[in-house]
Structure 1
């Protein structure tokens, strides 16, 4: 049956190789089960509900990827996209998480239509390559900055931010920040040495060090200051918690939000997700050797459909936008070539629901190193930017896009600044032919946003 579904012999692989590859992919991206509840709970959502929604949405998207596209790629709630949801839309924008979920649902439905009609690929092809890379780089810096804040390493100061004074409140904030720093270095070493599951191992290792510090009295819980005990209580997963987010996206009153505001939110999600998903697909596809002679992915339509379906289902369940995970490359590196790899990963995520209390109990200083390292992985696209005079009209907008995201604490502001500056700079420098029509439309939309919102 597996041969018939996944065509293993045709792809020169075996059941054992595919399952091992699927486990490898799971190990490298399972950190999302600790990080996603940590990030989205900052939007006021229940952590257990977020984890359950993440597991189910991941299973749906990754299983669809396996059965329709027969590709070894996994789909889950995207890093950067969850930060955009929690910190830009909810915290800075002042919108409810229910409104943000409805925007994610709308984005998913639109992307299903776009994927069926080929519009999604066409939009992607119109956006300048350097601007695509800059979005990944900027999101990497933004995620890293969030990690530094969650760890406590970045503290408020007269210079806006500064390194924490480890000696002040050492038994709470100081030791947590120190453990996060140790965890980041340790995680980086594991990753460099190509240890499978290095990010997940780093998270649990940092947490374990924290537990040791609590048992020896180095870390002292202070509930009033927000420092809870690090020792987990092993209880059964409360599946009823899913009811706190399931279907809540449909409880949004658009009259209170404003239809124009809502459209802007949806467009922002779409724009960020567009780069993240297509970029990950192309990158992992190149590593897997499944691109054709023109550099295109033959199975891109069902792959995009799987991603869009997971986003739509995830919004109903209660999680942020899903995307194809670049960590899928680890499974490909382990020999994965077909959908059996991704189906293995999907099943493992579904089983992870029964261990929800463990993932939820992981402290933010233990997940912060994962944010910092994933930020580095996304930042690595900076090497694709060509800093030469003949490319200044391309690379300056890319630079503005990158630097705006962490400094303005907003992914959407970085994208807007990048698009607007690209159109203006190329127009005034006599390179009108470089600008595709869709870029004019996007620039005008962002300008209208700044004028009226």
Structure 2
């Protein structure tokens, strides 16, 4: 082998200088060595992020298709991949954070079920039979997405979005990564079929024990998860995600549990190019139909982007005095990506929670995000292969991420009930509600209610204590009990009334 490499032509001095200049530029611009990383580690972290997020190449188009209520799922593929590449590239360049961005599952679900599936808000704009056409509903959703992206861009450039998020109480912020880990783990269990969603009852249940197909998916998913855990235990970090996913995919293909790659669908991915996805500007005069959807979509993006950015940066050691340098660049990148997504009929862009995977293998700079975006773009010709990967094959990655993030609960203050209850609501409700933003809102509401009640109860206690104190020494002097009663004589002091009554009942008083 050494003789073979000697036969290869050595690079010219000009090529070597250009290569070294490129490496020096990347190292200086992205501060690779300053953050304790290497270029090789950043590339590896980007590849790991791609593997961790590759299931979205399957899941996002399926959600948008919405069991036939949306367009053909292949039509969404190009827009989804392009917006993921552009957004991740912008995050890497402007924010220099190892947090790739792309179309998220939460925003996709809201877009598909709450915007596209709903009826048109204009009576004169409805199609035949009073039901709006599919394209009309898609255009309504895309228009709302575009307006929300403009709001995000304006507030992101002015740095208002990040400042709003920084004002969140520590009890809620510290619980976000733990809740996100539980949410990712639940997503993994649902992908492998261990937990199923009963649409009729509206609740999560155990899989059908009488179904052989369900047993196969659950068995393969659990075995792949255990294999990934053992690879991690033995320091096989580079292959702990890829090998279980590949073996599970081959098992699914061998047992005909999923379809083989169909390259005949490749051309249909370009179906959304050139299509007008925005409503007639004259219809925007019905502003009331846009207000609540735009506000809801912006809040979802705000809490998702802010929460994941802070949580991932904290794990990566990039939080300085409670702040993340480059966070405003993340909001800017997500706003530009969301506008592009709206122009291609796709949901808004957020940062991806699975980016913890890249950080856990050493990613510390924006190169990690750029590499993952490039991988998504390069995977576009191979999209039929990724579309043929069963969901249970990518489930182990999400479950192991949940395990890693659950360890961060040691940083949550559970000793003080005033902090513990809002933290618990934030953590527990993320998987229960299957929503990041709603869990954060619930934690904030609990924190606010506790603070308000604490003030009210404190005021009432002080009023009650003052009344009792006045009865004890109404003239500001001493109060003596009757001589025959054997009661105590309590001298009025400057101590708090509640402390005085506690001393009285404890028997610690001066008797006269």
TM-score (norm 2): 0.66
Cα distance, 1:59 vs structure 2:
1.3
Matches within 5 A, 1:234-253: 234-235=262-263, 238-244=266-272, 249-251=277-279
Matches within 5 A, 1:94-243: 98-138=139-179, 140-155=181-196, 156=198, 161-166=204-209, 168-170=210-212, 172-190=213-231, 193=235, 195-196=237-238, 198-214=240-256, 230-235=258-263, 238-243=266-271
Residue 119 and residue 431 in structure 1: after superposition, are their counterparts in 2 closer, same or farther (change >3 A)? farther
What is the match of residue 385 of structure 2?
A: 358
Match status 1:322 vs 2:331: no
Cα distance, 1:183 vs structure 2:
3.5
Residue 159 and residue 120 in structure 1: after superposition, are their counterparts in 2 closer, same or farther (change >3 A)? closer
Query: How far apart, CA to CA, are the structure 1 residues paired with 2:175 and 2:359?
Result: 25
Contact 1:45/1:245 (8 A) holds in 2: no
Per-residue Cα deviation, 1:361-416 (whole angstroms, up to 9, x for no partner): 2234434445545555565554443222xx32333234334444544555555444
Residue 24 and residue 163 in structure 1: after superposition, are their counterparts in 2 closer, same or farther (change >3 A)? closer
Contact 1:31/1:199 (8 A) holds in 2: no
Match status 1:31 vs 2:59: no
What is the match of residue 224 of structure 1?
A: none
Query: How far apart, CA to CA, are the structure 2 residues paired with 1:39 and 1:187?
Result: 27
Residue 151 and residue 328 in structure 1: after superposition, are their counterparts in 2 closer, same or farther (change >3 A)? closer
What is the match of residue 276 of structure 1?
A: 304
1:420 is matched with which residue: 433, 439, 445?
A: 445
SS at match of 1:111: helix
Contact 2:177/2:311 (8 A) holds in 1: no
Query: How far apart, CA to CA, are the structure 1 residues paired with 2:437 and 2:317?
Result: 33
Residue 367 and residue 245 in structure 1: after superposition, are their counterparts in 2 closer, same or farther (change >3 A)? farther
Residue 322 and residue 5 in structure 1: after superposition, are their counterparts in 2 closer, same or farther (change >3 A)? farther
Match status 1:394 vs 2:419: yes
What is the match of residue 51 of structure 1?
A: 77
SS at match of 1:323: strand
Query: How far apart, CA to CA, are the structure 1 residues paired with 2:97 and 2:202?
Result: 48
Contact 1:76/1:325 (8 A) holds in 2: yes
Cα distance, 1:88 vs structure 2:
6.3
Per-residue Cα deviation, 1:37-75 (whole angstroms, up to 9, x for no partner): 344433734332333222211211122223334444422
Cα distance, 1:274 vs structure 2:
2.3
Contact 1:57/1:313 (8 A) holds in 2: yes
Cα distance, 1:185 vs structure 2:
3.5
Query: How far apart, CA to CA, are the structure 2 residues paired with 1:380 and 1:41?
Result: 36
Deviates more, 1:406-415 or 1:307-316: 406-415
Residue 196 and residue 271 in structure 1: after superposition, are their counterparts in 2 closer, same or farther (change >3 A)? farther
Superposition RMSD on alpha carbons, in Å? 4.1
Cα distance, 1:101 vs structure 2:
3.9
Contact 1:426/1:432 (8 A) holds in 2: no
Structure 2 residues not aligned, in runs of 5+: 1-20, 121-136, 459-512
Greater C-alpha radius of gyration: 2
Contact 2:52/2:394 (8 A) holds in 1: no
Residue 279 and residue 158 in structure 1: after superposition, are their counterparts in 2 closer, same or farther (change >3 A)? closer
Query: How far apart, CA to CA, are the structure 2 residues paired with 1:406 and 1:72?
Result: 25
Cα distance, 1:100 vs structure 2:
4.1
What is the match of residue 225 of structure 1?
A: none
Cα distance, 1:355 vs structure 2:
0.5
Matches within 5 A, 1:238-317: 238-244=266-272, 249-251=277-279, 259-260=287-288, 262-292=290-320, 294-317=321-344
Deviates more, 1:307-316 or 1:322-331: 322-331
Residue 432 and residue 17 in structure 1: after superposition, are their counterparts in 2 closer, same or farther (change >3 A)? farther
What is the match of residue 440 of structure 1?
A: none
User: How many residues are treated as equivalent by the alignment?
Assistant: 413
Query: How far apart, CA to CA, are the structure 1 residues paired with 2:407 and 2:287?
Result: 38
TM-score (norm 1): 0.74
Query: How far apart, CA to CA, are the structure 1 residues paired with 2:110 and 2:375?
Result: 27
Residue 50 and residue 230 in structure 1: after superposition, are their counterparts in 2 closer, same or farther (change >3 A)? same
Residue 191 and residue 88 in structure 1: after superposition, are their counterparts in 2 closer, same or farther (change >3 A)? farther
What is the match of residue 436 of structure 1?
A: none
Cα distance, 1:305 vs structure 2:
1.5
Query: How far apart, CA to CA, are the structure 2 residues paired with 1:387 and 1:60?
Result: 40
Per-residue Cα deviation, 1:233-288 (whole angstroms, up to 9, x for no partner): 34266244343487665249997998556433333333333233233333444455
